[in-house]
Amino acid sequence: MSLFFKLVDDTYQPTSAGYGLLVMLFIFALIATCFFTGKDHKNHFSVKQLVFAAMCVTLAMITSMIKIWEMPMGGAVTLFSMFFITFVGYLYGVRAGLTSALAYGLLQLIIGPYIISIPQLICDYILAFGALGVSGLFSRFKHGMSLGYIAGVLGRLFFAVLSGVIFFGQYAPEGMSAFRYSLVYNGSYLGAEAVLTFAILCIPAVRNAFTRIKYLANEEDVREQLHLAS
């Protein structure tokens, strides 16, 4: 632990070697995105798909820094940052969604780490943020953008609550169970952001714009399918 992380005020902060390791993991995630993801049968991510996914991850990182409401012990209502990650899954399916979500989690870990142990790091940054990628399971559904977003948020909530129970349960007020405390704490900011996001998505112009983006992101696939059909 001392090689990659150092103990500062009861939390572990990455050392220079630790940041190097995180950057290497991020690069590995990008390589995996290039070669092992994609919704077609070629098992790769095209340049166009990579560009769209990278744009979504970038937007997610930028909006995650715009905090509408910040919780006292971590977590915040951001400017729709979770949506941009779930949108990748809606565009290209579950493998692309999970890989992009993993890359996003590693970026969050690099920029603002809060680490008390390796299991907590995995739960809070790899699993919780990575769960946003399950949105790709609904990429072909009629209301896949909304269903995928709900699934991604619920996935992140599950691991956030699990982390709260296991690693931060001692902060629960007297008379309140660790599970209830973690659910209320994490559900408050994740739920608030989800409600705000849906309020924006309910605007017809916004929904139509994202539908148009999906068409543009998959235009080549649509043309290929039409060509094969003809």
Q: What average pLDDT is seen over the chain?
A: 86
Q: How far apart are the C-alpha atoms of 83 and 186, rounded to whole Å?
A: 17
Q: Return the percentage of the chain with pLDDT > 70, whole number.
A: 83
pLDDT band per the 50, 70, 90 thresholds, residue 182? very high
Tokens of 130: 């990575």
1 Cβ contact list (under 8 Å, min separation 6): 12, 118
Max Cα–Cα distance, the chain, nearest Å: 68
What integer pLDDT is reported at residue 42 of this predicted model?
53
Segments making up each domain of the chain, as ranges: 5-229
What integer pLDDT is reported at residue 228 of this predicted model?
47
Q: pLDDT higher for 111 or 181? A: 181
Residue 148 has pLDDT above 80, yes or no: yes
pLDDT band per the 50, 70, 90 thresholds, residue 33? low
What integer pLDDT is reported at residue 113 of this predicted model?
86
**How far, in whole angstroms, is CA 210 from its chain's centroid?**
18
pLDDT band per the 50, 70, 90 thresholds, residue 124? very high
Q: Which fold has domain 5-229?
A: Arp2/3 complex 21 kDa subunit ARPC3 (1.10.1760)
55 Cβ contact list (under 8 Å, min separation 6): none
What integer pLDDT is reported at residue 29 of this predicted model?
64
Residue 62 has pLDDT above 80, yes or no: yes
Residue 21 has pLDDT above 80, yes or no: no
Which DSSP helix (H) or strand (E) runs through 7?
strand 5-8
Cβ atoms of 79 and 68 closer than 8 Å = yes
Q: How far apart are the C-alpha atoms of 121 and 114, rounded to whole Å?
A: 8
pLDDT band per the 50, 70, 90 thresholds, residue 7? confident
3 Cβ contact list (under 8 Å, min separation 6): 15, 17, 18
For the range 12-19, what are the long-range contacts, defined as Cβ-Cβ under 8 Å and sequence gap of 24 or more?
12/113, 12/115, 12/116, 12/117, 13/113, 13/115, 14/110, 14/113, 14/115, 19/110
Residue 189 has pLDDT above 90, yes or no: yes
What integer pLDDT is reported at residue 229 of this predicted model?
47
Q: What is the dihedral of CA 154, 91, 75, 123, to 10 degrees?
A: 60
Residue 91 has pLDDT above 80, yes or no: yes
Q: Using alpha carbons, list the distances in angstroms from residue 148 to 129, 137, 206.
A: 14, 7, 17
